[in-house]
Amino acid sequence: MKIQISSDADARGVRHLEQQLMALGLQVYRVPAAGERVICAIATGDPVPIEEVKALRGVESVVKLPHEFKLASRAYCQASTKVAVGPVEIGGGEMVIMAGPCAVESEEQVFSAARHVYAHGARILRGGAFKPRTSPYSFQGLGVTGLRILRAAADELGMAVVSEIMDLSQLDDCMKYVDILQVGARNVQNFTLLSALGKVDKPVLLKRGMASTIDEWLMSAEYIMAGGNHRVIVCERGIRAHNTYTRNTLDLAAVPVVKQLSHLPIVVDPSHAVGVRSMVAPMALAAVASGADGLLIEVHPKPEIALCDGKQSLTPELFADLAGKIRETARVVGRTMPDRLDVAEPGRPDPGSADPGRVDPGRVDPEPGSGASKSAAKGAVRKGH
């Protein structure tokens, strides 16, 4: 239930009220955006009658929360949560673009993609270092070396990094190199992982599972929030349906639904939703129009030789074109987007790529003996199946 604290309760009164709530068998939580004077009290055992709570000293009013997710709900926290990552804010007035390759393959690939997407308005660099592949024989990612490459490329430009954590054994490395921890569609109900991410001091990008209902997805967000981490961004990435022409079916209605049910920011990943390069742009624009707070888009300098998801990866030229259209669409729905910076013509090398002084390979320090050798990080990875 949502408890409004009465205006005459001082700090001691609030502490006393919290103790009384716990004595009744309620757990006491707070979410920053809800404000200081609002408590979320949740029964984890027997239900507690609302009248008993209303009768407590220091209580102004009590509202029963209608959904199973409580901390994630807008019924509890009316103000929209804004997740700050360095200078970027997700859930505010800016359309936040997270872009980069599906998988980190080499320094050249990531630096080139990063410079390009940054110049066109992306402020968060995406790239998988730990890849959840359907086949065990496909490229599994460069691991920690990949994280280091992402960090170095992002630092060169002042970008933030979003990258997937598949397993808790990767947490220490992800904490070191990543700004937003991504939980993939396949891990959306890995409750051990979600609970552990509730204890970390980093935002989490929570993908929707391929078969998740919106309630189930928000319950996964609730797991993270119940642990104390309120910086959750949810990401619609398409669900399984009977359409065979796209990889998944992009449920864009989920955007206004989530906005109504929850105060959390929502971004849309059109790349994994459609799985086909030519269909990414129209769905990205539709996502902006639907009210999404940001987009996650796969971009590869040479999609035809990508080790993962090349078919859905935009070329730099297509991304440049789409970014301009996103900027225009964002304006129509009242959002801003960073201006385009001067870059080389599409198809020409990005500025700096011919200037070895701009890339400092010394900053990328592959772990000795990690299996991902320097030569792998330099582009000698063999294409998977």
Does position 101 interact with ligand PEP (CB under 6 A)? The reply is no
- CB-nearest residue to ligand PEP: 184
Binder among 58, 101, 143, 184 for ligand PEP (CB under 6 A):
184
Pick one of 185, 226, 292, 326: the residue that binds ligand PEP (CB under 6 A): 185
DSSP state of 381: P
209 binds ligand PEP (CB under 6 A): no
Interactions with Mn ion, residue window 88-107 (CB under 5 A): 102
Between residues 251 and 309, which has the closer beta carbon with respect to Mn ion?
309
Q: Please, what is the Cα angle at 186 between 171 and 167, to 5 degrees?
A: 20
Number of residues that bind Mn ion (CB under 5 A): 2
Asked whether position 147 contacts ligand PEP by CB under 6 A, the answer is no
230 touches ligand PEP by CB under 6 A:
no
Q: Is 132 in the site for ligand PEP (CB under 6 A)?
A: yes
Task: Pick one of ligand PEP, Mn ion, none as the site partner of residue 275 (Cβ within 5 to 8 A by kind).
Answer: none
Torsion angle, alpha carbons of 315, 186, 127, 371, to 10: -120
Instruction: Specify the residue, 305 or 341, whose C-beta has the smaller distance to ligand PEP.
Output: 305
Q: Which of 127, 103, 105, 102 is nearest to 381 (CA)?
A: 105
**Closest CB to Mn ion among 80 and 246?**
246
Which residue is closest to Mn ion by CB? 102
Q: Is there binding between residue 102 and ligand PEP (CB under 6 A)? A: yes
Contacts of 12 (CB under 8 A, 6+ apart): none
Torsion angle, CA of 239/244/245/247, rounded to 10 degrees? 40
Confirm if 183 and 197 have CB atoms less than 8 A apart: yes
Cβ-based neighbour number of residue 329 at 10 Å: 18
Q: Which stretch binds ligand PEP (CB under 6 A): 7-15, 66-74, 184-192, 252-260?
A: 184-192
Euclidean distance between CA atoms 324 and 332, whole angstroms: 13
Where do we find the tokens 């065979």?
244
Residue 309 C-beta: closest distance to ligand PEP, Å: 7
Scanning residues 35 to 64, which ones bind Mn ion (CB under 5 A)?
none
Q: Tell me which residue has tokens 């709900």.
A: 73
Closest approach, Cβ 225 to ligand PEP, in A, equals 20
Binding of residue 207 to ligand PEP (CB under 6 A): yes
> CB 330 → ligand PEP: shortest distance, Å?
22
Instruction: Show Cβ contacts of residue 197 under 8 Å, excluding neighbours closer than 6 positions.
Output: 165, 181, 183, 204, 224, 227, 229
User: Do the Cβ atoms of 149 and 125 come closer than 8 Å?
Assistant: no
Q: Which does 207 bind (CB under 5 to 8 A by kind): Mn ion, ligand PEP, none?
A: ligand PEP
Question: With CB under 6 A as the contact rule, which of the stretches 136-144, 172-180, 183-191, 369-377 interacts with ligand PEP?
Answer: 183-191
Q: Which of 115, 116, 120, 237 binds ligand PEP (CB under 6 A)?
A: 237
Nearest distance from C-beta of residue 297 to ligand PEP, angstroms: 10
| Separation of alpha carbons 261 and 68, rounded Å | 11
How far apart are alpha carbons 177 and 225 in whole angstroms?
22
Contacts of 75 (CB under 8 A, 6+ apart): 2, 63, 65, 66, 67
In which element (H, E) is residue 287 found?
A: helix 277-290
E strands present in 79-179: 83-85, 88-90, 96-100, 124-126, 160-164
Q: Sketch the per residue contact string, 307 through 336, with Mn ion: x for CB under 5 A, - otherwise.
A: --x---------------------------
Neighbouring C-beta atoms of residue 376, cutoff 10 Å? 19
Q: Which stretch binds ligand PEP (CB under 6 A): 8-16, 64-72, 143-151, 179-187?
A: 179-187
Nearest distance in Å: CB 293, ligand PEP: 17
Q: What does the binding site for Mn ion look like in residue numbers (CB under 5 A)? A: 102, 309
What is the contact surface with ligand PEP in residues (CB under 6 A)? 102, 128, 132, 164, 184-186, 207, 237, 269, 272
